[in-house]
Each structure stands twice: as C-alpha cells, then as structure tokens.
A and B are shown apart, each in its own frame.
Chain A
C-alpha cells in the first residue's frame, strides 16, 4: 500500500520504513519555534518544573517576538524581556520585530520534508514548501524543546485536487476561503489537507503558503503540497541544503478526495464570526467598513502587497476608512520599499506598519471599537478577535480589502486592478 507525503514525512521523523493512519509514533523534530503570545508559559514550566533543564539542540530552537511589536504595555514588555533573557542564556535562535513567526521560519529555517513543531496554530503554513508543520500548546512545546521528540498520531489525509486557472481578480486566498466554507470549520479535524492536482504547479510559493496556512481553520493537523522545482529553487537560493522531497505514491490512500475548478471560483468573504461562514463577495451588498487590514501570516507577503498596490495606485482610500498595511517580514517590507509599493500605500492614505501579527490577533495595533467593522486578510474572524467583543470581522483577499478601502463598503475587486 502506498503512502501519502505526510505519512512519508512522519515515517522519516520516527525512523520507520512506513507508518499508517491511526498509528501513534514518537517522532524527532527537525525544528521547533515559539512566539511571544505564549512563550512565558513554556519558560515557567522549563525553569520551575522540569527536573532536567536542558535544550535538545539550541540551534534547532527558534524564539520569535512577533505578536505585540513593539510592546504596547508594561505587562507585554515584561513577558518579552523574559523571552529575550531566556534566549540569550540558552543560546537559541532569537528574532524580534523581523516579521510574523511563520514567515521568518519559511525565509530562514524550514526545508521540505522536515517535521516542525511550534507553539502556534498556524504552524501548518510550512506545508507550502513541503514541510510538515504541527501546532501545539506550551506544555507540548516545552517537552519538544527539552527532548527533541513528540508523540503524534498519524492522521488520515484529505486530498484537494485543483484544476484550471484563476480568473482575474481571484486569488489563492479566495480558494482557501471557499474550501473552508465547503468542508466546515472542523471538516478536516485532526487530518492533513494535501493540495495537489494539475493547477498547483502554477501556484507561487506565496500562494501555496496561503492554502496551507489556513488548514487549521478547517481543524486540520496540517496542510501539505508536494515540493517541486519552484520550492527547490527557493530553498537553494537561501543556501539551505537539507531537503527531503517526499511525494505521495500513486496508490496512496486518502480518506476523501475533493476537486476544485478555479474557473468556477469567485472572490470570497468569510462573514462574522466564523471562518467557514463564507460567501461570494458578489452576494454582499452594502456592508460599510471602518477599517481594512492587509497583512498576517496568511496574506502579508510581497505578492499580496503588489495586488493591493495595483488597486490603490493613484487613488485615495475612503475618508471614513483606516487602512493598515503590515508586511509579513522585514524582507517583504524591504522588497515593497524597493518596488515603490510603500509609496503607493502611503500616498493612498494607508498606514504602513512594522512587520508583526498586528490586528489579525487583536493584541496591539489597530484594534477596533464597539460596533465597528474590519475587512481583513488575517486568519480569523472570531467574535472579539480584533478588539471589542461586539465588533465584526470579514475575511477576504488583499484585492477585496483594497477595493473595499477605496469605496468604504465591501466591494468586489474585479475590474479595480490597474494593469
């Protein structure tokens, strides 16, 4: 019986020839990462409760301050100081203000075929470059940092075959919102979502990360895409050599197979307060917005900023709208500066912010008030996620957010892009 690429990654990590769904394995991780949302809990466990206070391999441990940057309160400053001091003392990799953790991991650390465990739910992003990223909590993270190992159940895999080509104004972001709407917020609970089919070769690295990043919003353990020459080039260009180019066997067993034709896809939104509460933008009429957000580990990379800039160029955002643009990393920010995108954003009236999680997690920048509506390229639209408990978040593509920021209400982006 053949194996899926996810099963092959878990077989390698557990030193086995083969694994099958339902089997519980002890796996060695290649990398682990934690960020300032929860690291203080891990540090407390490590320092106060562990009997053997060692780190399995400091060069494979990454601490990233990205959730509240720069710190917005004394309490946050204390949490971050604790993290900074620990990182220095234990000589683990440390980043601060350099971008959203998953973007930094992809730019600097992760390679195809690796198993990466991190204390953040969007760790599934690494499937975009063929690595298995699994999100855990602080206790599991601490155990991984301590031993380099984790017990995991081998999950079933769902296959999503993608066909055709995107129509103009429709993006990978719309595809994943559509898939989550179709299968539901727990439609992939515990499983791996593997994206493939003939259209995937046309997806850029950024597009692939967009798909895998939101697998957790369907409850998935992770998302995966087979690495191809685009991924190999990306990793080579960054000087990384360790690569395991696992592909699913022809006779791999999938729990279920779904087919998506890109030609049928329209720009999508997810309405408050659930990510699976989706519908085409064309069905939304007259929803006024107070704020727009372009950024996050889902949709703050250079390609999304280029799309937004093509819409905002030479135009002014609506006088009653604030638009926040937050590049996903320093690298993305510098590239946007070089291409003149930042000039376009600022001239349009947008606020360009330092790379961090920003209002996607509602911790520091741009939180919204009672009754306000945000249209966002972030990852979640849960009740109160972006600020006041009685506020509203719609999720959409960078194109839809940009077009909506111009008109002041949720707007179908088709036809708004300059060539």
Chain B
C-alpha cells in the first residue's frame, strides 16, 4: 500500500451518525452505486457531487455512531474517500469500515485545526499527518488492517489469503 496519502479536506463535526451518512429512506436502493449519491443527505446533500477520489473527510469525535448499517462505510469507500480522520469512532462503524476497505485514522489534534479545502498529507510509515508546517500524530493502524483496506475489505482479503 502507498504509505503516503494526500488529499483535500472536507470538514464535518462531532457525532456524525450513520443515518446522516446514509438515511434510512435510501437503504432499499439495490446498489451502493445508487446509494452513494445520497451520502450525508440530511446534512450536506451536495457533498457526494463535490467529493473527488482521494479526498479526505475530517471529523470530530464519535464518527459513525448509531445504526450498524454497513452501507455507511461502503458508500464512503465507493465515493473514493482516501481516508477519514476523526478524533474517535463508534465501534460498530470502525469494524464495518475496515471490512469494506475504508481507512479510518484517529487524530486528536488535526480535526480542530484543519479547514475545509486544506490539503493534508498522511504518512502511514511515521504515523503522522502534515498540514502546511504543522504536524499531528495518528494512532498506528496494524499492518493486517492496512492490507485489508488495500484488498477492498475483509471478504476479498480472506479470498486473497486463502488463494495463497
């Protein structure tokens, strides 16, 4: 996996719940490709149209709280989100994200400083983030989980392992 991730920041607040990421009324859509157009619909309906592959979501505490719906991390991965950087995550969302190939990073400092439109650089080798001349630490992510992200999630990861 490329250990350097650079992307444009889209800024979200605290307690972004999975009903915000994908509201109930869109869950019956048959594919993630259809569903992803409605990401963040109650809060920022324009966001899916603006997000470019590799962009980075920066949020406060408790990102992904609420419902266990796995469509939430799946559509963020499908939108090409490079990674999410938040102060903390809700536990069900955390597992679901890696299981769907979405990289989550924890940083206590960056979310208070980064502004929308900033460009940040994540270095998974040194577990740091750079924003201009400022540097922030991230919690290290175990290599297995990074491999899972590269594979696209738990199921493709296991298939790859089993094929060896």
Binding site for B on A (CB under 8 A): 37-38, 41, 45, 49-51, 68, 73, 75-76, 78-79, 119-121, 135-140, 142-143, 185-186, 189-190, 216, 219, 221, 274, 361-363, 367, 380, 382-385, 389
Residues of B within 8 A of A382 (CB): 17, 19-20, 66
Residues on the B chain within 8 Å of A186, using CB: 15, 61-62, 65, 88, 90
Known contacts A41-B70, A185-B65; A137/B19 CB under 8 A: no
* 8 A Cβ contacts from B70-101 to A: 70-71, 73, 88, 90-92, 95-96, 99-100
Bound CA–CA A379/B29 (angstroms): 24
Contacts of A274 in B (CB 8 A): 15
Which of A37, A120, A135, A139 has a CB less than 8 Å from the CB of B154? A139
Q: What are 13 inter-chain pairs, A to B, with CB distance below 8 A?
A: A51-B162, A79-B28, A119-B68, A139-B70, A185-B62, A185-B65, A361-B67, A380-B17, A380-B67, A382-B19, A382-B20, A383-B42, A389-B42
Distance (Å) between the CB of B119 and the closest chain A CB?
Answer: 29
Alpha-carbon distance between A383 and B18 when the two chains are bound, in angstroms: 11
Which one, B24, B88, B99, contacts A361 given CB within 8 A?
Answer: B24
Q: CB within 8 Å of A: which residues of B?
A: 15, 17, 19-20, 23-25, 27-30, 41-43, 45, 61-62, 65-71, 73, 88, 90-92, 95-96, 99-100, 153-156, 159, 162
What 4 pairs between A and B have smallest CB-CB spacing?
Answer: A384-B42, A389-B42, A137-B96, A137-B70
A216 to B24, CA, bound (A): 18
Q: Which residue of A lies closest to B92 (CB)?
A: A135
Q: Which residues of B sit under 8 angstroms from A380, Cβ to Cβ?
A: 17, 19, 66-67
- CB pair A219–B100 under 8 Å, yes or no, is no
> Is B62 a contact of A384 with CB atoms below 8 Å?
no
A270 to chain B, nearest CB (A): 13
Chain A residues near B95: list those with CB within 8 A: 136-137, 140
Question: How near does chain B come to A136, taking the closest CB pair, in angstroms?
Answer: 6
Contact A219 B24 (CB under 8 A): no
B27 touches A37 (CB 8 A): yes
A364 to chain B, nearest CB (A): 9
| With A139-B154, A189-B91, A385-B19 already in contact, 10 other A-B pairs whose C-beta atoms are closer than 8 Å | A49-B156, A50-B155, A68-B28, A140-B99, A186-B88, A362-B23, A380-B19, A383-B19, A384-B19, A389-B42
Q: Is the Cβ of A75 less than 8 Å from the Cβ of B28?
A: yes
Q: Which residues of A contact B41 (CB under 8 A)?
A: 384, 389
Quote the shortest CB–CB distance from B81 to chain A (angstroms).
Answer: 17
Chain A residue numbers with a CB within 8 Å of B43 are 383, 389
Q: Report how far A318 CA is from B67 CA in the complex, Å.
A: 32
Q: Please judge, given known A-B contacts A139-B99, A140-B95, A383-B20, whether A45 and B155 are in contact too, CB under 8 Å.
A: yes
Q: Provide the residues of chain B in CB contact with A68, threshold 8 Å.
A: 28
* Interface pair B154/A219, CB less than 8 Å apart: no
Q: Are A75 and B30 in contact (CB under 8 A)?
A: yes
Contacts of A45 in B (CB 8 A): 155
Report chain B residues within 8 Å CB of A37.
Answer: 27, 67, 69
**B19 with A136: CB separation less than 8 A:** no
A residues near B23, Cβ cutoff 8 Å: 362, 384, 389
Q: Are A139 and B30 interface neighbours, CB within 8 A?
A: no
**Chain B residue contacts of A221, Cβ below 8 A:** 91
Contact A185 B19 (CB under 8 A): no
A413 to B31 alpha-carbon distance, docked (Å)? 45
Chain B: which residue is nearest A153 at the CB level?
B91
Q: Is the CB of B62 within 8 A of A189?
A: yes
Among A38, A185, A384, the residue within 8 A (CB) of B20 is A384
Q: Which of A51, A120, A363 contacts B68 (CB 8 A)?
A: A120
- Residues of A near B62 (CB, < 8 A) are 185-186, 189, 219
The answer to whether B88 touches A385 (Cβ under 8 A) is no
CB of A356, distance to nearest CB on chain B (Å): 13
B107 to chain A, nearest CB (A): 16
Q: Is the CB of B70 within 8 A of A363?
A: no
Residue numbers in B under 8 Å from A385 (CB-CB): 19, 24
CB distance from A342 to the nearest CB of B (A): 27
A363-B24 CB under 8 A given contacts A45-B155, A121-B92, A384-B42: yes
Chain A: CB-nearest residue to B67: A121
Q: Which of B24, B95, B154 has the most CB of A within 10 A?
A: B24
Please name all residues of chain A whose beta carbon is closer than 8 Å to the beta carbon of B30 when the two chains form the complex. Answer: 75, 78
**Contact yes or no, A135 B29, CB < 8 A:** no
State A142–B15 Cα separation when bound (angstroms): 27
Task: Give complex CA distance A37, B20 in Å.
Answer: 16
Chain A residues positioned under 8 Å from B154 (CB to CB): 139-140, 143
Min CB–CB distance A243 → chain B (angstroms): 27
Chain B residues positioned under 8 Å from A75 (CB to CB): 28-30
CB contact between A137 and one of B29, B65, B92 (< 8 Å): that residue: B92
The CA of A251 and the CA of B130, in the complex, are separated in Å by 46
Complex interface: chain A residues within 8 A of B61 (CB): 186
Distance of A10 Cα from B153 Cα, bound (Å): 26
With both chains docked as a complex, state the minimum distance between the C-beta of B145 and any C-beta of chain A, in angstroms: 12
Known contacts A136-B92, A140-B99, A384-B23; A38/B159 CB under 8 A:
no
> In the assembled complex, which residues on chain A have CB atoms less than 8 Å from the CB atom of B99?
137, 139-140
